[in-house]
Amino acid sequence: MPPVIINLVAAQSETGKTTILENLLPELKRRGLSVAALKGHLHHYDLDLPGKDSWRFSRAGADISGMTTPESFFLFGSREGKSGNEAVTEFLTEIDLIIIEGNKQSSNPKIEVVRSEINRQPLLPHKTIAVISDLDDLNLDIPVISIDDIKALADFICDRFFPAEKSNIHTAGNKSLTHFDKSGRPRMVDVSEKEQTSREAYAQGEITMSPDTLSRVMAGRMAKGDVLSVAQVAAVMAVKETGRLIPMAHPLSISGVEVDFTPIEEESKIEVGVRVRLTGQTGVEMEALTGVSVAALTIYDMCKAIDKNMVIQNIRLVEKKGGRSGHFSREQN
């Protein structure tokens, strides 16, 4: 599905459009939307002026030029016969919503900002769907939202443009859950329109045991054989079977699995780690977590004859890379 595009417009500058958009973005993100915010209808941007590196790259024939830092990126590009807004819309295929600040002449739906000190009557350009204002006496046939009620503005956008997806999403702590259809029944999420990208996940868990059991495991003296070698194979097998074990998980073509075991003698436990990689349309968090779980269960099975007090615990996602939601690291959250 192409992204929804809305223009945030006003009669002139200095109406606070940027501040409104700045406050609106986190509200939309809390509702589970991925959002791009753009300045629209510019004749040029300073970073692409003649003589600048990005300008030189573009003139040399690069389809996309830009700059990156360890934390972010900035890209420049064009498509023959298309405006900048049209080209960037094609580029941002994994985004739910694009909000463009400015351009009253666009053919997109528009939300107009009306400030009492600038214009007491809205312009209402073509396809205006709502007005944001600090005036309380506007009598219009479209919704008028208080300029201070950013939550109401976010609700309006979600109700107007994402009813099929968002009205039946079950939420907990403002986090959206998408494994439900419009009837509220479970479903496997359709990822066919998502781009194939490199994805990776690393999960960990631990199994505590008696010091004697830990000693035997590490020395390879268990009656059933080399516990950690068997657990490693079990983890790999579990990763590959996740789509069959977890009802709404997708069957995936896994490209790599790494399993590590770290004995921690002072706490009499083994920490299990599983890293999974692929290039695909959905992430591998469930595969990594399943691998950890089955590896720990295998250790339990191999050792239960001498130690039934073992405890499997603290199974968690440690890191995730790639996909729409970007980079997650437990140490950073």
List active site positions.
Answer: 301
Q: What phi and psi, each to the nearest 5 degrees, are found at residue 131?
A: -125, 135
Four-residue CA torsion sign, 103, 106, 109, 115: positive
Could you give the CA distance from residue 268 to residue 264 in angstroms, rounded to a whole number? 6
Cross-strand partners of 99: 6, 37
Q: Is there a contact between 183 and 260 (Cβ–Cβ < 8 Å)?
A: no
Q: Tokens at residue 318, please?
A: 């440690």
| Phi-psi region at 310: left, alpha or beta (left = phi > 0; alpha = psi -120 to 50) | beta
Four-residue CA torsion sign, 295, 303, 229, 261: positive
Burial class (CB in 10 A: 0-12, 13-18, 19+), 232: buried
Could you give the CA distance from residue 316 to residue 39 in angstroms, rounded to a whole number? 40
| Identity of the residue numbered 270 | I
* Coil, strand or helix at 90: helix
Edge-to-edge, what's the strand order for the sheet holding 128-133? Answer: 35-39, 97-101, 4-10, 110-114, 128-133, 144-146
